[in-house]
Structure 1
Amino acid sequence: MSHTAHIPSHRKPRQSASKSALRAGVAGGVLSTIAVAGAAGPAQAEPVTQTIEMPTITSGFSTAVAASAQATQQVALDLETQAHEDAAAEKAAKTAKKAHAEAVRKAEAEKKAEAAAKAKAEAEAKAQAEERAQRASRTAERTTLSASSGSSNSSGSSASAPSSSSSSSNVSGSAASIVAFAKAQVGDAYVPGGTGPNSWDCSGLVQAAYRTAGIDLPRVSQAQSTAGTQVSLNSLQPGDILYWGGAGSAYHVAIYIGGGQFVGAQNSSTGTVQRSMDYDRPTGAVRVL
Structure 2
Amino acid sequence: MSHTAHIRSHRKPRRSASKIAMRAGVAGGVLGTLAVAGASASSANAAEPVTQTLELPTLTADLAAQVAQSADATQQAAANYQLQAERDAASVKAAKQAKSDLAEAKKKAEAEKKAAEAAARKAAAERASRTTQRTTLAVSTSGTGTGTSTSTSTGSSSSDTTVTSGSTATGSAAAVISFVKSQVGKAYVPGATGPSSYDCSGLVQTAFKQVGVSLPRVSQDQSTAGTQVSLSNLQPGDILYWGGAGSAYHVAVYVGDGMFVGAQNPSSGVVERPLSYDPPTGAVRVL
TM-score under structure 2 normalisation?
0.43
Relative CO higher for 1 or 2, CA cutoff 8 Å, sep ≥ 6?
A: 2
TM-score under structure 1 normalisation?
0.43
Larger Rg: 1
